[in-house]
Chain A
Amino acid sequence: MAPTHRAPASDARPDTAGPAKAATATRAGRRPALGHPLLRHGLWALAALAAVALLTAATGPVTDLRVADVGLHLLAVAGLQLLVGTSGQVSLGHGAFMFVGAYTMALLVVNLPAVPLAAGMAAACAAGCLAGLAVGAATARLHGPYLAGATLMLAVGLPAVALRFPDLLGGANGLAFTAIGAPPALSGLVDDTQWRALVVWTVALIGLVVLATATRGRLGRHLRALRDDPTAAALSGIPVGRARVTAFVISAGAGSLAGACQAYVLGTATPSTYALTLSLVLLAALVLGGLGSLWGAFWAALAIVYVEVAGTELAHALELDTDVRNNLPVVFFGAVLIIIVLAWPRGVHGALSALGRHRSTPSQTGDS
């Protein structure tokens, strides 16, 4: 489960949303045509949002819901990517931050209906960052299995808070509400589900731009140096504790936003959704997608949404015994994970980029 990807910092390609060539150009010191990484990432995000808008316009409400699901899982896994892939801290408690975000959102909508959606999202992000700060500060000295164990407790324990305060948090039944749909001005043009998918992707892409820019910048370099050799990093003057906590805070904020998006889309926050399984699935999917790149997070999000759907449909198609059916989707996911990691140790993204390199090799050798 621990990240085996220990490529030296210089080799860890910091390309995230941007294409590899642009990244190489920046590293060589030449400013590419698109200038600052933030601007470039922003343009990529706008393009992605346009693609999502086109996709949802062409499909029905059920697909819209899945598209939104991919978007919010993408954000959650991307946050985990920064923590696990870039800084090398293994967290088994990422689902707990989604819980924080979902309940912040749900409580605001239920108790303060006049608060705008964006403010709700911001509040959820802030709550997540605070939780991340607390957890990050408490666990900054832990590493490897000790950190995994500490965060595991978070994933196991936090959802029980909802059961402890049934009047405020709704107990095991959770909170149910209806959040605002498409603005009246756009009625007829986009329906509610489509609008919600777009909102989720807007939030997710803003989060991704922040994550990509942070990974590309000084923080990302510090984290990679830390991941590869903490002692060497500390000797070169990198503030080890602060960098680790910062990674935790950003990652928790992303997870919390993803949880808020989920609550907003589904109109519910229920403790059982944020059980330990979720945290494990996020981490497993990240390994499947590929550690070290935001593209890996994208494949991971697709896998979380669609491999489970496929597994469930397979289970029903086979008309098996209930006990077998219960476990088949998990087994299916596990089997896919094992096969992919065996075949391509760097996940789907590693496989795809290897394929890309393989294709471009003949022409390069021809040139030289």
Chain B
Amino acid sequence: MRTDPIRAARPLAAASLALALLAAGCTGAGQTGEGAEADLDVSTGVTDDTVTIGAHMPLTGPAAPGYSQISVGAQAVYDFVNANGGVHGRTIEYLAEDDAYDPTRTVEVTRELVHQDEIFAMVGGLGTPTHSKVVDFLNTEGVPDLFPSSGALMWNDPEKYPLTYGYQVDYTKESKILGEYISEEFEDAKVGYLLQNDDVGVDSQRGLDMYLQDQAVSVEHYESGAEDLSAQIAGLEREGAEVVVCACIPNYVALGLLESARIGYEPQFITSSIGGDTVTLRGLLSSFAEQAGSGGDPDDFLNGLMTLGYLPPVELGGDDPWVAFLRGVYDEYGGDAPLSNTTVYGMVQAVQFVRALEAAGEDPTRASLIEALESLEPGGPGLVPFSSTGEDRGGYAGGFITRYEDGELEMVRDPAVTDNAEGDIEPAEVDRPLPEDIGPLAQG
């Protein structure tokens, strides 16, 4: 068959014609406009005896070790509340859906939660790369988006995301407190930054630079997913950094500690809150040592580590009423893994939701939940105030710094609060209620 050039061109012509037809009927792909405001006066997900809430969580995948404990902790609190009569007689059904820390899956499971499971609210969706892909969707659908498990600044944006309320201290606030502490306590030391190469690193560096501009000698980045930190640690050593501030997740704090021990480099490590859970770090250090075939006590690496926190650390044990209470709940309803600060993170998230749900009244609607949240007392289990008002919904507003030594924590910087702009750092004043002051928790 001879080829007719016109015929050969036809598929192309047809395709372009079809596309042109489509183009003619379309407005701009990004011009979504202001849709009708979602109706909040509904109680989707609330039945006579249950309230269904959901979260996307990395139960498998790269972020699962450590972070999968968050939903275990939250579930333990809900189980405890449910076993003791629930909130206004309703039990809480908590659906933690696995997104494997993959944004594509986050979008899918979130739509499943909203459309199929019809959740009342999203509570504690985990991760910046993941949650940032559904925050628009949740706000458009009118689903309250409470306490994302991430310190990104974007959750505190009432104009853009009226239904989103932050939880974790944001990366800039905590690094301001770290920066000020280092500039005061290690006045003449050369400082190196070890930063995760995404918004965690960018937002943290902004805070650190406010206080450490003159002392910083080296900034090293790692990609999330990298296998080792030898280049970064060598870079910090070469520049002679005596203090290393690490805005890293636990995996990389552990790698950094091991790598510097390996090359005989001994700076003072200070980590931000996301990498500072010493229980998780101990587990990681043991498993890395096991893989390398060497024994050794994780404390050899951990001793002297300083970390920023805002929730009561489990190391405080019975000295803190909330740690004692949460440990009791976890022992009865939690998993087999030891109670870690990451678990406490999930448990406190659940406590804060239970408080808001109780305040939302006998017959909660999404609107009454939001209203209750905005008038929530700023004191809770945390050691710094918690902000969820109409204008400032940044969650925990600051932190304290501790030093680790053989399983004990010493407070080296008392709780302080600040903002994520030029504002000062001030001592935190918080009126912490006791667990028995909170209705649904007291019934036990």
Contacts and interface: CB of A to CB of B under 8 A. Distances in A.
Contact of A312 (B18, B98, B137, B224): B98
A120 B31 CA distance: 13
A173 interface: yes
B15 A210 contact: yes
A325 interface: yes
Interface string B56-85: 000111001100100000000000000000
A108 B104 contact: no
A202 interface: yes
B132 A176 contact: yes
A314 B133 CA distance: 26
A42 B14 contact: yes
20 contacts: A36-B7, A62-B112, A65-B111, A108-B30, A115-B29, A116-B28, A116-B29, A117-B26, A166-B197, A171-B199, A172-B198, A172-B223, A180-B31, A206-B19, A209-B11, A209-B14, A267-B137, A268-B133, A270-B129, A322-B65
B292 interface: no
Interface residues of A, number: 58
A273 B358 CA distance: 40
Interface string A122-136: 100000000000000
Given A109-B30, A117-B26, A272-B103, A172 B19 contact: no
A108 B29 CA distance: 8
Contacts of B107: 266-268
A266 B18 contact: no
A146 interface: no
B114 to A, nearest CB: 8
A283 B12 CA distance: 26
A176 B110 CA distance: 15
A147 to B, nearest CB: 26
Top 4 A-B pairs, shortest CB-CB distance = A113-B30, A118-B22, A114-B28, A117-B29
Contacts of B3: 217-218
A266 B198 contact: no
Contact of A114 (B31, B129, B136): B31
Helix, strand, loop or mixed for chain A's interface? Answer: helix
B10 A322 contact: no
A356 B23 CA distance: 42
Interface residues of B, number: 54
A180 to B, nearest CB: 5
A14 B8 CA distance: 17
Contacts of B61: 326
B64 A322 contact: yes
Interface string A212-239: 0110011000000000000000000000
A37 to B, nearest CB: 9
Contact of A180 (B32, B98, B103, B116): B32
B91 interface: no
B166 to A, nearest CB: 17
Contact of A266 (B60, B104, B128, B199): B104
A264 interface: yes
Contacts of A217: 3, 8
A112 B108 CA distance: 26
A177 B111 contact: no
Nearest to A202: B22
